Chain A
Amino acid sequence: NAGVTQTPKFQVLKTGQSMTLQCAQDMNHEYMSWYRQDPGMGLRLIHYSVGAGITDQGEVPNGYNVSRSTTEDFPLRLLSAAPSQTSVYFCASSSPMTGFYGYTFGSGTRLTVV
């Protein structure tokens, strides 16, 4: 039981490049979400999904796209990387339908945009 798996762990991008951060969970959780963590800012919600085929924007969605074609996977796409997107990105899952409201987080992707 791997929990929430994020890849890659580290990435350096040049301004304007695009990339996809991968997130997969094997707990059959219906909710998945992406957060970014910046010093002094806590964890800010980028996008979330309450089930396959359903996504919605969080607090800081600009510059990011998501899709949820399966229950297990929730990739985050950076369309045209900017230095302001330098951050640590966390994927998380939960299952309110089974009473598990607490999130299980992945180990994060540290992204640097130069």
Chain B
Amino acid sequence: QQQVKQSPQSLIVQKGGISIINCAYENTAFDYFPWYQQFPGKGPALLIAIRPDVSEKKEGRFTISFNKSAKQFSLHIMDSQPGDSATYFCAASDAGNMLTFGGGTRLMVKP
């Protein structure tokens, strides 16, 4: 049972372009939605997170958009750079419980 669905599985973007990764969830009790970035051979690292009381959160070139009624949230990477090439995971949890992860998106930014 996959409670968090992530798309696309892979994404190729030109340098300077916008990368968009989408996630949808089923459990309406979820109240914490983080995104993780993982480079090859490394563990995932927390990138940015949002709670459902706001519709958008921006940190530098990374923005989370959140649509509570649609049960969807997305990560936008503005001015994508080759150094952003990594695997990105969305996740969700409720009341501090264990995170449920999406399937991951492998992003490649071409120079």
A contact residues vs B (CB 8 Å cutoff): 4, 31, 33, 35, 40-45, 48, 58, 90, 92, 96, 101-108
User: Do residues B44 and A58 form an inter-chain contact, with CB atoms below 8 A?
Assistant: no
User: Do residues B98 and A33 form an inter-chain contact, with CB atoms below 8 A?
Assistant: yes
Number of chain B residues close to chain A: CB under 8 A: 22
Please report the C-alpha to C-alpha distance between residue A95 and residue B24 in the assembled complex, in whole angstroms.
25
- Is B89 part of the contact surface with A, judged by Cβ < 8 Å? yes
- Min C-beta distance of A96 to chain B, whole Å: 3
User: Do residues B101 and A42 form an inter-chain contact, with CB atoms below 8 A?
Assistant: yes
Answer whether A90 and B103 are a contact pair too, CB < 8 Å, given A96-B96, A102-B34: no
User: Do residues A45 and B98 form an inter-chain contact, with CB atoms below 8 A?
Assistant: yes
Answer whether A43 and B34 are a contact pair too, CB < 8 Å, given A58-B98, A90-B44, A103-B46: no
> Can you show 6 pairs from A to B with CB atoms below 8 A apart?
A40-B103, A41-B103, A43-B89, A48-B98, A90-B43, A105-B43
User: Do residues A43 and B101 form an inter-chain contact, with CB atoms below 8 A?
Assistant: yes
Determine the chain A residues whose CB is within 8 A of the CB of B93 once the complex forms: 101
Please report the C-alpha to C-alpha distance between residue A31 and residue B49 in the assembled complex, in whole angstroms.
18
- Is B99 part of the contact surface with A, judged by Cβ < 8 Å? yes
Please report the C-alpha to C-alpha distance between residue A92 and residue B43 in the assembled complex, in whole angstroms.
9
Please report the C-alpha to C-alpha distance between residue A103 and residue B41 in the assembled complex, in whole angstroms.
18
The contact of B9 among A4, A35, A40, A103, by CB within 8 Å, is: A40
- Is B42 part of the contact surface with A, judged by Cβ < 8 Å? yes
User: Do residues A101 and B98 form an inter-chain contact, with CB atoms below 8 A?
Assistant: no
